[in-house]
Amino acid sequence: MAVIIDGKAVSAAVRTEIRQEAAAIAAQGRAPSLAVIIVGEDPASKVYVRNKHKACAECGITSFQHELPADTTQEQLLALIEQLNADPAVDGILCQLPLPGHLDEQAVIDAIAPDKDVDAFHPQNTGRIMTGDYAFLPCTPAGIMELLRRYEIPVAGKRAVVIGRSNIVGKPMALLLINASATVTVCNSQTPELAAVTRQADLLVAAVGRPDFVTADMVRPGAVVIDVGINRREDGTLCGDVRFDEVAPIASHITPVPGGVGPMTITMLLKNTLTAARKHMR
């Protein structure tokens, strides 16, 4: 039976460090601050945004909430971002994705000042992730790397397979693993003979966004399995991308859903907010 990687516990430990550092920054002027923008009523996004505010409050980070109606225009959204870019009281800016269909997500990402881009989605920051010389960590992949470090799971020299090639998770995850000297294969749901590829993995990262997608026959016995999915089954129950019940008995380590990768993503966002605040102190 696999070791269950406890993202909540690791997250709590890192947040203790963040709280101390936020207090140290506050003592030198003002507390670190994060502006969060949400457009429309997507229920999952509302839960994520609420969790981000709660996490900020817990750690002594000021958070400003900007809730905009679903019919907000591109011009209105860009005007708000301009205002936040120019506001010296704001260290970090995050616009919750996905945006309603009539809005241009890439244009919004491009508009956020790179030194306030705590998601690390701006092309200037994604480019820096590629070269390994980055200011802001991409939150979900960085949270996964932190879990691997804290559980002393080696990455260098290992075969890693990432399922999913999104800009938010799959692609930056592959880059961080490459930077850490893993041999990385990036798959997607159309990869031919996917199971044969995933069975090669010492480290398997599932970020496809499909409930129960990874089955035991896709996993090499003794592999480390990281589940990034947060999905709902048709009966409404929450699940990851991995069939935990069948994969846990053969894996060496596995992250549960919930309580694995999820809590770490927000923790890394808080860390990026401290980085932004430190930049703005100078």
Closest approach, Cβ 61 to ligand GUN, in A, equals 16
156-215 residues near ligand GUN, rule: CB under 6 A: 168
119 lies in the binding site for ligand GUN (CB under 6 A): yes
> Which one of 11, 33, 96, 198 is in contact with ligand GUN (CB under 6 A)?
96
By CB under 6 A, residue 38 contacts ligand GUN: no
In the complex, the smallest distance separating the C-beta of residue 80 from ligand GUN, rounded to whole angstroms, is: 15
CA distances from 267 to 59, 119, 170, 227 (A): 10, 12, 19, 17
In the three-class reduction of DSSP (H, G, I as helix; E, B as strand; rest coil), residue 153 is classed as: coil
Catalytic residue among 96, 116, 202, 227: 96
Which residue is catalytic, options 91, 115, 119, 227? 119
Residue 200 appears among annotated catalytic residues: no
| Helices of type H across 87-164 | 105-111, 123-131, 139-150
**Which whole-number Å values give the CA distances from 94 to 108, 185, 205, in the listed order?**
10, 30, 25
Q: How many CB atoms lie within 10 A of CB 107?
A: 12
> Reduced to 3 states, what is the DSSP secondary structure of residue 119?
coil
Out of 94, 103, 108, 160, point to the residue binding ligand GUN (CB under 6 A).
94
Q: CB 119 → ligand GUN: shortest distance, Å?
A: 5
**Inter-residue contact 275 to 24 (CB < 8 Å):** no
Task: Find the part of the chain contacting ligand GUN (CB under 6 A) among 2-10, 26-34, 94-102, 218-226.
Answer: 94-102
In the bound state with ligand GUN, the residue whose beta carbon lies nearer, of 124 and 191, is 124
Amino acid (1-letter code) at residue 254: I
Residue pair 61/273 in contact (Cβ under 8 Å)? The answer is yes
Stretch that binds ligand GUN, among 6-14, 17-25, 91-99, 243-251 (CB under 6 A): 91-99
Of 13, 26, 97, 113, which lies in the binding site for ligand GUN, with binding defined by CB under 6 A? 97
Residue 125 contacts ligand GUN per CB under 6 A:
no
Give the start-end residues of each E strand in the chain. Answer: 3-4, 33-39, 62-68, 92-95, 159-163, 183-187, 203-206, 224-227, 231-232, 238-239, 253-254
Active site residues: 52, 96, 119
Which residues contact ligand GUN (rule: CB under 6 A)?
Answer: 94-97, 119, 139, 168
